[in-house]
Amino acid sequence: MRILLLVLVASLGFGAVTKIYVEERGDVQDGKSFGAPGPYERVVARAHFAIDPKLAANRIIRDIDRAPVDDQGMVRFSADLYVLKPRDPAKGNGSILFEVSNRGGKGLLGMFQANDTYLMEQGYTLVWVGWQWDVPVSPELLRVYPPVARGVEALIRSELVPHAKVTSMNLGDRNMQAYAVDHGLKLTVRDSRDGGRQEIRDGWKLNAAKTGIEMAAGFQPYQIYEATYTTKDPVVAGTGLAAIRDVISFMKYENNGIVLLGDQYRHMKRAIAFGTSQSGRFLRQFLYDGFNTDEKGRQVFEGVWANVGGAGRGSFNIRGAQPSRDGHPTFNFFYPSDLFPFSDVAQQDPDTGVEDGLLANVSNAPKIFYTNGSYEYWGRNAALIHVTPDGKADAPLAPNTRIYYVAGSQHGPGGALPPPKRGGTNYSNMNDYRPLYRALLARMQAWVKDGTAPPDSRYPRIAKGELIRFEDVKMEGAPKQPQRAWRVNYSSEPPSMGKIFPLLVPALDADGNELGGVRMPEVAVPLGVYTGWNFVADPAAPKGYFNDMVGSTLPFSTAAITKRYGTRAAYQELVRAKAASMVSEGLLLDRDVSQVVDRAGKEWDWLISSK
């Protein structure tokens, strides 16, 4: 039930946040105490904003000058807000832990406290803000409600790659909302990423809303359908980035004890942003565009953690932005994700002569973690964040950047045992790296709070022979067509493709497991080979068709496992020793050692019993 509690905030006194409508407020877990921080409360609300389009901090928002203004010359919009906080903020740890919602969802708790209440026990104030305009309409999803760019036309490209015959094509990404067609729609089909486009001139029609295409004969499996068209009055999507900037600044800096969350400034001393996949790419764009400085020149996030975003950014702050569009080996081809610059430190592209870096023109740069796994090297061009653009040498890192590569992992942590196949030819990758992430969060908190440096970066280096061209991987069955990054000209749609950037991936040891980075016990004391890639099991799919974002577990034989380790108990002792070593390195919490060892035993049981 919607609770109409209106909290007014004076615009001039509180920056861009003007008011908050509280929709729901109540205790977390019936008022349970989470140790020293005490009970938590949940706040569900809508934040409203008014921003001056003439301010330098807001001119970075694409098309903000085309948005309607009120009689004070301010652009107004709103966004969903969700907060879990200590009921008494003085008992918290002084840190906002903000998650960039992935397509409107909330995944933070599952990543950091799957089996306990770790984040609440530590006293974090957990915050989510809707930033994406095109998420499906659902009370469970967070969104921004942006202004439109009046009188503007935008050229839109939509894509569909069905895995079964269907008769309709949403012009938005997957189940996301789409821009309506105004005029000029052209539909093409091709059979591969690099294949020639053939125009489909008849046999289809627009749906009533002009946001989809219907074709009675059907869209055929594994064909690439592409529609280009012009829309009018597109949303000013970059206000979603501003919404995040301004809510965090409001909580950290603004002073009014009467206003809901307006007393937080006395307790919120720092903010850490975490984003996974799309949201990790979002944080890279957030930094590059300059959103880590608020309207008053203050730092927004002291720490930024971009997880499994690879070398990507995204369609977040451009005209006609489609935030959900990404780029994978088998769909969403050639969207503005894997674009130069890739590294924090400025480098020169030898092909174009352009020199730039993600942080080259950024003030108030935060402390940064980049975490990636095997899939991000094969499917997200992750090596480009730490090599030269020609792929010939390791590149320097910014002083306050750490890169942690999780060897032998897929796009998300392994969970269930036995691992499901998830539509693949192999079992999915069961490497569960969430215990590592809990330790890294503690290291980030210490870094931004006390200046205690985290562990040194751990990623594969060219100089050590740990990083090689993907064409040089000798493993039988390795993918032949991974995701690539191009130099791209987006002045037209489809875009004009230039020269390709090199693709480097981790080298392999004698078992076939990856070198470099952080090896979780599954990989350090292996029961099989763990990859970031898998293939679609559908016999109708083209041969070697990438199963996007899913990795593989390729078990050793029972004879090989028992010959190498002997008994289950002996194997677990090796895992325990590896876990203890990770604790000493700051890469595992002591409280998680038993969990890691117990899981290793279950993996042993499954592999031995499955033979």
For residue 125, the one-letter residue type is T
Residue 140: predicted pLDDT = 94
Amino acid letter, 451: G
Better-scored residue on pLDDT, 14 or 543 = 543
CA 225 to CA 286: how far, in whole Å?
31
Q: What is the pLDDT of residue 264?
A: 86
3-state secondary structure 231-257: EECCECCCHHHHHHHHHHHHHHHCCCC
CB 127 within 8 A of CB 251: yes
Rounded distance between C-alpha atoms, residue 544 and residue 542, angstroms: 6
Per-residue pLDDT reduced to its tens digit, 331-348: 999 999 999 999 999 999
Q: What is the mean pLDDT of residues 182-204?
A: 97
Average of per-residue pLDDT across 192-196: 95
pLDDT for 13: 43
C-alpha neighbours within 13 Å on the C-beta side of residue 604: 22
Task: Tell me the per-residue pLDDT of 373-430, one tens digit each, with 9 for 90 and over.
Answer: 999 999 999 999 999 999 999 999 999 999 999 999 999 999 899 999 999 999 999 9
CB 120 within 8 A of CB 37: yes
The H-or-E segment that residue 441 falls in is: helix 434-450
Domain ranges in the chain are 153-232
Question: How many other CB atoms are found less than 10 A from the CB of residue 584?
Answer: 9
In 148-211, the DSSP E strands lie at: 153-160, 166-170, 183-190, 198-199, 205-206
Q: Which stretches does DSSP call E strand in 300-447?
A: 303-307, 347-348, 355-356, 367-373, 401-406
pLDDT band at 258 (very low <50, low <70, confident <90, very high): low
For residues 108-120, give the mean pLDDT.
Answer: 95
- Which three-class secondary structure string do you get for 468-497? EEHHHCCCCCCCCCCCCCEEEECCCCCCEE
Task: Tell me the mean pLDDT in the region 433-452.
Answer: 98
127: buried, middle or exposed (CB in 10 Å: 19+, 13-18, 0-12)? buried
Residue count of the chain, please give it. 611
Q: Which residues pair with 406 in a beta bridge?
A: 373, 518
Residue 1, pLDDT > 70, answer no
Residue 4, pLDDT score: 39
